[in-house]
Amino acid sequence: MIRTSRRLADGREILYFDGEPTSRDAVDPRDLPPVATRSQLRFDALLGEWVTVASHRQTRTFLPPADQCPLCPSRDGRRTEVPESDYQVVVFENRFPSLATAVERDVPATAPGAPLAELRPGFGRCEVVCFTSEHDRVFADLGADRARLVVDVWAERSAELAALDGVEQVFCFENHGEEIGVTLSHPHGQIYAYPFVTARVEKVLDSVRRHRAAAGADLFAEVVAAEAAGPRVVAANEHWTAFVPAAARWPYEVQLFPLRKVPDLPALDGAERDAFVQVYLDVLARFARRFDTPMPYIASWNQAPVRHRDDWWLHLQLFSLRRAPGKLKYLAGSESGMGAFITDTNPEDIAEQLRNVVVE
């Protein structure tokens, strides 16, 4: 993998990743104002969680037509976020970031009238990852070589962002489909470098530690061993298993675990990265072909926090809110109000349905 670093007109970094030597000398001629980020972190004392307040994102680009896509390569008369006329995989700092390294640092100690709501600057970094220059492609159709390049990019960016002073967790993800809330239809994902450990990861770590204290065993290892031999496996090979979790929250949900315990993407070796691509493209194809139209989905990498690597087992969550043709699972009263999921599908049935999808 060959990495080339350049700068956009407003000073943001853009990184090109290629499988072979490629000249990347195009200059961004746009007249852009400096990125102004006024994000804040506010602490919810009752839940013990951080909330990011990023009101400047109200003005971000929203569902532009294909001929105005800001993630496509630039061409004569149409300048985009990517100055080059073509690319393989490209990463750049988000123009409308929730978190940024250059954020305003001078913030009050607490929110107005709320002495228990601690305030911090919205420090971090938000990057956009474009998987291909082709606007109408999807990840499921990238092919093994390009998908492997994306995996290598995720790993490279995870390692670099985790090394930033003040970053506590790196999160790579893809939102796919308008029903999920995607505002740009070009095939892309994002990477967030958080200055805190997210609520989900904190909760999982607490469960892992309680299980070790009570049973003297690794909770992750027990879950992976049981699921890899259980009735909910959808796809597997010598390095990875993909299964519908026993207590799946979403109508269609698959978790992908490496069979070797590693904390994050950079820790995967070459064979494990190749094997992941094989299983992941297989599962994505099943999601795409389960109904008459492809399912919207979120692909969410669960990596170790920067300071708690030994307890973690890398895994990917892939889930969709589509429960049937033309029907979505809405997070209504119980889910949104109480965080108590009520699922409309049976995990064993979903696993069988996905296994029965013809992908070739």
Catalytic-labelled residue, pool 188, 239, 308, 315: 188
Beta-ladder partners of 316: 256, 301
Q: In what order do the strands lie in the sheet with 114-121?
A: 49-53, 40-44, 114-121, 110-111
- 107/88 Cα distance (integer angstroms): 40
Q: Is 186 a known active-site residue?
A: no
C-alpha angle 68-91-30 in degrees, rounded to nearest 5: 45
Beta-ladder partners of 193: 125, 170
Could you give phi then psi for residue 153, rounded to 5 degrees?
A: -65, -45
Q: 111 Cβ partners below 8 Å, 6+ apart?
A: 42, 117, 119
- 90/117 Cα distance (integer angstroms): 38
- Whole-angstrom CA distances from 269 to 138, 148, 219, 261 are 25, 12, 23, 12
Could you give phi then psi for residue 186, rounded to 5 degrees?
A: -60, 140
- Residues annotated as catalytic (active site), given as ranges: 188
